[in-house]
Amino acid sequence: MGRDLTTNAIRRSAPRALVALYLAVAAPTLAATPSAPAQAPSVAETVYTLRPVGWVRKADGTTTIEIDDHYRPALLGVDQLDALWVLYWFDRHDTPEGRSVLQVHPRGDPEQPLRGVFATRSPFRPNLIALSRVRVLAVRGNIIEIDGIDAYPDTPVLDLKP
């Protein structure tokens, strides 16, 4: 069994527990691999491999992002920032059914008019990438203390941007 997590593999048949395991141990890569290199791939043929750079942690009223030691050098200068954009994975909604939802009632309220998921912050989407802006409170080693984030504990973090 390979260590890479591919969006197509999830889309097809991977159970949630297997997806979580893959996210926890996936190889450190982010690569586009077209299935037909001689011509431009269609969206469905392009596969991206992701590996979390860290994890959201929540304990005792404190929210942190724990960065994998491999990526610790990438934290240089983060302590001087006031805020970060955190890109993370909606791992608890990663099912073929969840990925096929293209329209929702905002906030799950049937009184709200139906909207496309690209016009909402719904966790149900074709690719389960989430984005939140957080305040940086402190950086200690590979731990970034933040003011809070709309993510579950142990959510995989894909990237950080100033």
pLDDT in tens, the chain (162 residues): 333 444 434 433 344 443 443 444 343 333 333 444 456 556 677 888 899 999 999 999 999 999 999 999 999 999 999 999 999 999 998 999 989 999 999 998 999 999 999 999 898 999 999 999 999 999 999 999 999 999 999 999 999 999
pLDDT at 27: 33
pLDDT score at 47:
84
Nearest of 71, 62, 99, 83 to residue 131 by alpha carbon: 83
The amino acid sitting at 6 is T
pLDDT of residue 38: 53
Give helix then strand counts, H and E, for the chain: 3, 10
Rg (CA), the chain: 17
- In this prediction, residue 93 carries a pLDDT of 84
**Structure confidence at residue 55 (pLDDT):** 98
Indicate where the chain has its CATH 2.40.30.70 domain(s).
52-161
Q: How many residues does the chain have?
A: 162
Global pTM value: 0.70
52-161 fold: Elongation Factor Tu (Ef-tu); domain 3 (2.40.30)
